[in-house]
Chain A
Amino acid sequence: MSYIIVGNSAAGLFAIEEIRRHDTKSEIIVLTAEQEPSYSRCLITYFLAGEIPASQLYLRDVDFAARLNLTVVYGAEVTEIDSAHQIVRSADGREWHYSKLLLAMGALANKLSILGDDLPEVFTLRTMRDALAINNILEQGARKAIVIGGGLVSLKSAYALRKRGLEVTVLVSSGQILSQMLDAKAADIIQEHLRANGLRFLLETEAQAITGQNHVQGVLIAPETELDADLVIVGKGVRPNSEKLRGFGFNIGLGLQVDSYLETNISNIYAAGDITETWDFVRQKFTVNATWPNATTQGRIAGANMYGRQEVYLGSLGLNSVDFFGLSAMSAGITKLLKKEAHEDWSQTENLKMLGGLPIYRNLIWQGDVLKGFVLVGDTSQCGVLTALVKAGQPLTQTQKNLTKGKRGTLAVGMMK
Chain B
Amino acid sequence: MRQILVRSEYCLGCKSCELACAVAHSTSKTLFEAINEPMPPQKRVFVESSGGLNFPLQCRQCLDSPCVHACMSGAMQFDRATGLIQVDEHKCVGCLMCVMVCPFGVIAELPDTHRVAKCDRCQDLDYDPACVAACPTKALEFVEVREFAHSGRQTFLDQMKGVN
Interface, chain A (partner B; CB < 8 A):
10, 14, 40-43, 46, 51-52, 56, 58-60, 292-293, 296-297, 300, 319, 321, 323, 328, 330, 332, 380-385, 387-388, 403, 406, 408-414, 416-417
The answer to the question of B142 belonging to the interface, with a C-beta cut-off of 8 Å to chain A, is no
| Contact call B66/A408, Cβ cutoff below 8 A | no
Chain A neighbourhood of B106, CB < 8 A: 409, 412
A47 to B54, CA, bound (A): 42
Query: Across the two chains, which residue of chain A brings its CB closest to B48?
Result: A409
Q: What is the CB-to-nearest-CB distance from B91 to chain A, in angstroms, rounded to a whole number?
A: 7
Chain A neighbourhood of B103, CB < 8 A: 384-385, 387-388, 412
What 1/0 mask marks residues of chain B from 47 to 60 whose CB sits below 8 Å from any chain A CB? 01111011101000
Interface, chain B (partner A; CB < 8 A):
8, 46, 48-51, 53-55, 57, 66, 68-70, 72-74, 90-91, 93-97, 99-107, 109, 114
Chain B neighbourhood of A384, CB < 8 A: 66, 99-105, 107
| Contact call A411/B105, Cβ cutoff below 8 A | yes
| Contact call B70/A409, Cβ cutoff below 8 A | no
A10 to B70, CA, bound (A): 10
Report the number of A-B residue pairs with Cβ-Cβ less than 8 Å.
121
| Contact call A328/B66, Cβ cutoff below 8 A | no
| Contact call A321/B95, Cβ cutoff below 8 A | yes
Q: What is the CB-to-nearest-CB distance from A393 to chain B, in angstroms, rounded to a whole number?
A: 14
Provide 21 A-B residue pairs closer than 8 Å at the C-beta atoms, listed in order of the A residue. Answer: A10-B72, A40-B73, A41-B72, A56-B73, A56-B91, A292-B72, A293-B97, A293-B101, A300-B69, A330-B100, A384-B102, A385-B104, A387-B100, A408-B46, A408-B48, A409-B46, A409-B48, A409-B55, A412-B55, A412-B105, A413-B53
| Contact call A42/B57, Cβ cutoff below 8 A | no
A90 to B96, CA, bound (A): 37
Instruction: Pick the contact of A58: B57, B74, B100, B105 (CB < 8 A).
Output: B74
| Contact call A59/B49, Cβ cutoff below 8 A | no
| Contact call B97/A385, Cβ cutoff below 8 A | no
Chain B neighbourhood of A412, CB < 8 A: 48, 55, 57, 103-106
| Contact call B72/A40, Cβ cutoff below 8 A | yes
A54 to B162, CA, bound (A): 67
Query: Across the two chains, which residue of chain B brings its CB closest to A59?
Result: B74
Chain B neighbourhood of A42, CB < 8 A: 72-73, 95
Q: What is the CB-to-nearest-CB distance from A342 to chain B, in angstroms, rounded to a whole number?
A: 29
Chain B neighbourhood of A410, CB < 8 A: 48-50
Chain A neighbourhood of B55, CB < 8 A: 409, 412-413, 416
A292 to B100, CA, bound (A): 12
| Contact call B99/A40, Cβ cutoff below 8 A | no
| Contact call A292/B97, Cβ cutoff below 8 A | yes
8 tightest A-B contacts by CB? A409-B48, A388-B103, A414-B50, A384-B102, A59-B74, A42-B72, A296-B69, A293-B70
Asked if A319 meets B100 with Cβ closer than 8 Å, knowing A384-B105, A410-B48, the reply is yes
Chain A neighbourhood of B93, CB < 8 A: 43, 46, 51-52, 56
Query: Across the two chains, which residue of chain A brings its CB closest to B54?
Result: A413
Instruction: Pick the contact of B50: A52, A56, A387, A403 (CB < 8 A).
Output: A403
| Contact call A416/B53, Cβ cutoff below 8 A | yes
| Contact call B101/A387, Cβ cutoff below 8 A | yes
A371 to B21, CA, bound (A): 33
Chain B neighbourhood of A60, CB < 8 A: 74
Query: Across the two chains, which residue of chain B brings its CB closest to A388?
Result: B103
Q: What is the CB-to-nearest-CB distance from B4 to chain A, in angstroms, rounded to a whole number?
A: 15
Chain B neighbourhood of A385, CB < 8 A: 102-105
| Contact call A382/B105, Cβ cutoff below 8 A | yes
Chain A neighbourhood of B8, CB < 8 A: 416
Q: What is the CB-to-nearest-CB distance from B8 to chain A, in angstroms, rounded to a whole number?
A: 8
Interface centre among A41, A413, A416 (most CB of B within 10 A): A413
Query: Across the two chains, which residue of chain B brings its CB closest to A331?
Result: B100
Q: What is the CB-to-nearest-CB distance from A256 to chain B, in angstroms, rounded to a whole number?
A: 20
| Contact call A414/B95, Cβ cutoff below 8 A | no
| Contact call B95/A323, Cβ cutoff below 8 A | yes
Chain A neighbourhood of B66, CB < 8 A: 293, 297, 384
A60 to B76, CA, bound (A): 11
A61 to B61, CA, bound (A): 23
Chain B neighbourhood of A383, CB < 8 A: 99-100, 105
Chain B neighbourhood of A416, CB < 8 A: 8, 53, 55
A58 to B74, CA, bound (A): 8
| Contact call B73/A43, Cβ cutoff below 8 A | yes
Chain A neighbourhood of B107, CB < 8 A: 384
Chain B neighbourhood of A51, CB < 8 A: 93
Chain A neighbourhood of B91, CB < 8 A: 56
| Contact call A414/B51, Cβ cutoff below 8 A | yes
A380 to B94, CA, bound (A): 13
| Contact call B104/A323, Cβ cutoff below 8 A | no
Chain A neighbourhood of B51, CB < 8 A: 414, 417
Chain B neighbourhood of A403, CB < 8 A: 50
A43 to B51, CA, bound (A): 41
Query: Across the two chains, which residue of chain B brings its CB closest to A294?
Result: B69
Q: What is the CB-to-nearest-CB distance from B56 to chain A, in angstroms, rounded to a whole number?
A: 10
Instruction: Pick the contact of B99: A46, A380, A388, A409 (CB < 8 A).
Output: A380
Query: Across the two chains, which residue of chain B brings its CB closest to A295?
Result: B69
Q: What is the CB-to-nearest-CB distance from A184 to chain B, in angstroms, rounded to a whole number?
A: 21
A142 to B97, CA, bound (A): 32
